[in-house]
Structure 1
């Protein structure tokens, strides 16, 4: 859901940001999902963890860039809160994936 929200909100960003914040934010949010998918498809736990950590890093980028968009007044407060809440939910899920994969790798 966070991907859909980011795409909807960035559609309203200034056209001058198309190759700036709009592009960066969209790439980061897509990277979160892509890294989780790639990690899930990996056979070795170490490989899985690598991609889950990459997803967490990309999520950090999304959060940082959403803050920037809010500060630059490209995004309304209600949209900011909605994206932030969704990003926090994704963060919790990622944390669970990382912890469970770490536990499995120690067996």
Structure 2
């Protein structure tokens, strides 16, 4: 199965989170915070959204930072994804 976002939506897959802190402390499940960095898996077509012309700024494969409480979590074929609006993405990570 494949997710195909509509309008200005973007499908993200969260980056794998660290199990230990830099000082070597192992974090329990409840103490871990979900990372806000993700990889773009799929991008909607943009176009007219709510009466505004939206140009998609991200592309598949980009590493991005998104707003903490943004999006809708979706589980598909055992994988977890987040579907967000493009304006919930605050930055593209460039290396």
TM-score, normalised to structure 1's length? 0.26
TM-score, normalised to structure 2's length? 0.28
